[in-house]
Amino acid sequence: MVALYGWTVPGMLLIPASWSPTLNGLETGLIRIERLLLMLAALAKLLSMMKPPQMAAGVYLLARPFAWLGLDCRALAVRLALTLEQMENMPRITRWPGTLALPARQGEGTGEMCLHVPHVAKQDIALLSGAVLVLGLALFGVPA
């Protein structure tokens, strides 16, 4: 990513040569890598703290305001929970070429999934609204 941005983003050259990366490009590439690592670390922490049904319930609560757009929040949450559950129960594979040649296994299927969605309190709504407001102010460059 650093190389991609280093040689494609215009700016001041690192060394005076036509093949040199730019300082702006290298800086942009490093910032992108930092953001990616922060997102992966946050996701790893979230996955270590919560079970798949809890994460699916959280996604359901966050997606529920978009139901008026036609988003099926229940289907989204259940599909996420099933996917995460399958990933948790997946065996470690050491020989990929041999495994890819095998026919796909049919899942057992549980038939029914029950998600326990907690009640949303006024404090939760206030905290989420405040976070969205701060994010909006930061994105649109409104000075604090």
Cβ neighbourhood burial of 21 (10 Å; 0-12, 13-18, 19+)? buried
Average pLDDT over residues 62-91: 84
- Which residues are registered as beta bridge partners of 13? 22
Kindly report, residue by residue over 21-53, the tens digit of the pLDDT: 999 999 999 999 999 999 999 989 988 898 888
* Residue 108 pLDDT: 62
Threshold 0.75, pTM exceeds: no
Going from N- to C-terminal start, the domains of the chain cover 1-49, 51-90+111-144
* Residue 105 pLDDT: 63
Cβ neighbourhood burial of 77 (10 Å; 0-12, 13-18, 19+)? buried
- Which residues are registered as beta bridge partners of 22? 13
* Residue 121 pLDDT: 87
* Residue 144 pLDDT: 55
Tokens of 74: 């229940």
